[in-house]
Amino acid sequence: MPPAQFYHWYDVNLRMKLLGIKTKNVAKMNEAAAVELGADILGEVVILSVAIGALALEYGRRSKNDSDKEVRQQEILLNIEKQISEFETIVKDQSSHLLKVKELIQNKTSSTSNSSSSTK
């Protein structure tokens, strides 16, 4: 059974079942109508295939862009974490230097006050 004749037979049977009518025999389409219906079906299949292909390509492109974006965000996050770690090290170093300077100032002021009280 050619595809157009099968489609016609299936379409008529489905419509009749939906209407609640039993079908015994479905009249065959004439050759010209079958060729036209077959061409319509083929055209719709081609259009549907192109649309599905375009959707698949777009989905793949979008997925790649999303994964690339996620990789870039991970790199930015790692860079920020590295900078924070470096800043923590700098702050610790500066804190220790500040403590040393405070100790030196305290030692200097205490030695100055001790020497000024001993000279009196």
| pLDDT tens-digit series, residues 62-84 | 999 999 999 999 999 999 999 99
DSSP per residue over 34-89, as a string? HHHHHHHHHHHHHHHHHHHHHHHHHHHHHHHHHHHHHHHHHHHHHHHHHHHHHHHH
Structural domain boundaries of the chain? Answer: 3-119
pTM: 0.55
Give residue-wise pLDDT tens across range 15-47. 999 999 888 888 888 888 888 988 999 999 999
